[in-house]
Amino acid sequence: MKRAWANKALALVESGGAVALITLLHVKGSAPRDAGAQMLVWSAGQLGTIGGGNLELALTRDARVLLASGERSMARDYPLGAILGQCCGGRVSAQVERLDFDGAAALLRSAAAEEDARAPLLLFGAGHVGEAVARAVAELPFRLIWRDTRPAFCARAALTNDPRADVGEAPSGAFYLVLTHNHDLDYEIVRTILARRDAAYCGLIGSSSKRVRFERQLRADGLGAEVRWLTCPIGGAIGLKGKEPAAIAAATAAEMLLALEAQRPAAASRTPVTEPAHGV
């Protein structure tokens, strides 16, 4: 995560080490990453990525040249096809800068702000699939809020006595995954989520028969119109058939990313509505 490698940059600077920050400033045409992508480079390592391949190799080499020279910064411009032999064929301009304490501290503040702006994901359940999902979204644009009602399963997830209250405190447009050990608890959480009518994604682990059962209960509870916003089984939109926790987590993470991308164009103008702005 960007916050983790910003902390690494600050630690290196505080210990007297030299570290460089690479930032893609402009991207024209096809390229591995968009403008704004960043990575850190120091003499013995690197963190983050600006796209891999020959572009990253060239820029990490440039960064180490800068660190060895004592210069403060350098600008680089690379046509990806003509010079670097990458088939994407675009053109990238980048800045390579040596970080001092103030620069590393600013990077950390930026990383913290970026993390706070990520889409909130409330994950209920710390079993095998819950753990796999937490790993799968660690580097994705979600701010994980992980809860379980069982103290023995809360080595990483936070203990909650009332998941419905957690749902009630979530911001509008949050993502939800319901993966608990108990079908009745699953239902209570899902009913509370759908009753809000503002979830960006409401995923429930289970089979098609579990969905049918939940739909029947939800209609009886007056949430018939909201049933269409329930995603169950999770990960189905991706088409993977594997039932291993890691496979379910990968498919579900991809499904949520699709929901997030569909949500973003309207985010600036989103206002409270009587029905969800988006669902899968």
**Residue 141 in contact with residue 120, Cβ under 8 Å?**
no
Residues 6+ apart with CB under 8 A from 10: 101, 104, 105, 107, 108
Question: Can you tell me the distance from the alpha carbon of 206 to that of 178, in angstroms, rounded to the nearest whole number?
Answer: 10
Residue located via tokens 């959480």: 189
Q: Are strands 38-42 and 201-204 parallel, antiparallel or unpaired?
A: unpaired
Question: Can you tell me the distance from the alpha carbon of 27 to that of 59, in angstroms, rounded to the nearest whole number?
Answer: 15
Question: Can you tell me the distance from the alpha carbon of 196 to that of 49, in angstroms, rounded to the nearest whole number?
Answer: 38
Residues 6+ apart with CB under 8 A from 245: 128, 129, 131, 132
Please report the pLDDT score of residue 88 as a whole number.
Answer: 54
At 192, is the secondary structure helix, strand, or coil? helix
Question: Can you tell me the distance from the alpha carbon of 200 to that of 280, in angstroms, rounded to the nearest whole number?
Answer: 8
Please report the pLDDT score of residue 274 as a whole number.
Answer: 33
Q: pLDDT (tens digit, 0 to 9) for every residue of the chain, 280 residues total? A: 577 888 888 898 999 889 999 999 998 877 778 888 999 999 889 998 988 788 899 999 999 999 999 889 999 988 876 555 555 567 889 999 999 999 888 888 887 777 778 899 999 999 999 999 999 998 899 999 999 999 999 888 999 999 999 999 999 999 999 999 999 999 999 999 999 999 999 999 999 999 999 999 999 999 999 999 999 999 988 887 788 999 999 999 999 999 999 876 544 333 333 333 333 3
**Residue 226, φ and ψ in degrees, nearest 5:** -85, -10
Question: Can you tell me the distance from the alpha carbon of 247 to that of 171, in angstroms, rounded to the nearest whole number?
Answer: 29
Please report the pLDDT score of residue 275 as a whole number.
Answer: 34
Q: Which of 237, 118, 103 is nearest to 174 (CA)?
A: 118
Determine the angle formed by the axes of helices 101-116 and 2-14, rounding to 10 degrees: 160
